[in-house]
Amino acid sequence: MFPNEFLGYAAGIITTLALLPQAIKILSTRQTRDISLVWAIAMNTGIILWLLYGLAQGDLPMIAANSFSLILLMLILALKLRYR
Q: Does the residue 6 lie in any domain?
A: no
Q: How far is CA 40 from CA 11, 51, 55, in A?
A: 21, 16, 22
Q: In this model, does residue 5 exceed pLDDT 90? A: no
Distance of alpha carbon 63 from alpha carbon 54, whole angstroms: 5
The enclosing domain of 63 has a CATH number of 1.20.1280.290
29, part of any domain = no
Host domain of residue 48: 35-84
Q: What is the pTM of this model?
A: 0.90
Query: What share of the chain has pLDDT > 90, as a percent?
Result: 90
pLDDT range class, residue 40, cuts 50, 70, 90: very high
Is 3 domain-assigned? no
Return the pLDDT at 38. 97
Number of domains present in the structure of the chain: 1
Say if 9 falls within a structural domain. Answer: no
Question: Is there a domain that residue 54 lies in?
Answer: yes
